[in-house]
Amino acid sequence: MLGERALEGSEGADRAAAFEALARQSLDSSYRLAALILRDATEAQDAVHDAFVQAWQKWSSLRDADRFDAWFGRILLNVCRDRLRRGRRWQVVDISAALDHRDADEQGRRVDDRLAIERSFRHLSADHRIVIVLRFYLDLSVDEIAERVGVPSGTVKSRLHVALRQVGGDLALAFDEEGDE
């Protein structure tokens, strides 16, 4: 098995080949996860790259290569969290969908709804955004999220509760303001 070979092989070339194979297998899913969390394609690409660099630097610390996905997933989540915490300086907003607003009332409402959800999602803290993505986009259980993030299940439940309450409040406010216009 690839994981066993990665750890048993003492030669650097074997370990490098094993890392490359594992990285290739998880590249697409890692990018999708980062894009969901960061909400920006370029930031997601950079985050995945940075996470793979960190994983390569820490490769010798992985004792069971069969646990690569969980190990690398935690590295990627930490990179995304760091980017969210320091990345509020610049925000690129794709306005192409908003330009279609003029085409039809229904399409306009959908765009407005989507923008309201996106704004609300961007207001969430890094930790809250991560649990929302893992729960509702990757469909992970609370226990699976707790394992990936490295916190107790109760903390995950609390973060989900707070995040959903915040999103709900933001959306209620946005739609109330929309009705006042």
The structure tokens 């992985």 sit at 62
Q: Position of tokens 């297998």?
A: 25
Kindly list the domain boundaries of the chain, sorted by start residue: 2-88, 93-180
Q: How many other β-carbons are positioned within 10 Å of the β-carbon of residue 128?
A: 20
Reported as a single tens digit per residue, the pLDDT across 97-120 is: 555 555 556 666 666 777 777 888
SS3 150: coil
Which CATH architecture does the domain made up of 2-88 adopt? Orthogonal Bundle (1.10)
Which residue from 42, 44, 50, 22 is spatially nearest to 32, judged by alpha carbons?
A: 44
What CATH fold (topology level) applies to the domain 93-180? Arc Repressor Mutant, subunit A (1.10.10)
- For 47-101, how does the pLDDT look when each residue is reduced to its tens digit (9 = 90+)? 999 999 999 998 888 888 788 888 999 999 999 999 988 865 555 556 565 555 5
Return d(Cα 134, Cα 36) in angstroms, integer: 9
